[in-house]
Amino acid sequence: MKRLFAALLLTTIGIASVQAEEPRPEPVGVLETNSHRVIIHLGGSKPLYTVYDLDGNLLADLLDHDQLITQMPELEGIFHKGVAKDASLEKGGSAPSDKPFE
């Protein structure tokens, strides 16, 4: 009986860990400030945001807009008055990266 319980427990843990490993949403844009880099991801029904500081340290990962503004209210302004660094749609442009600073 103990072996059966142990086998069931290990199977359940294995299934849970496989289900938890969802692919990371694709980055589709980047907003930069003097102190932060915000990566915008496709998140199903709404965008998700990952935030790094200038040293490349992860500050927030895959938060929706409300969660991000609650945790980091200083970033709210960039969503209303951000300026594009290179918003061209010409061929040869590079896709946004999920890396903090490249």
pLDDT in tens, 24-67: 898 998 888 889 999 999 888 899 999 999 899 999 999 999 99
Q: Which residues contact 95 (CB under 8 A, 6 or more apart)?
A: 27
Q: Where are the domains of the chain?
A: 25-84
What are the C-alpha distances in Å from 101 to residues 4, 31, 32?
Answer: 50, 12, 10
pLDDT tens digits for 1-19?
Answer: 555 444 444 455 555 455 5
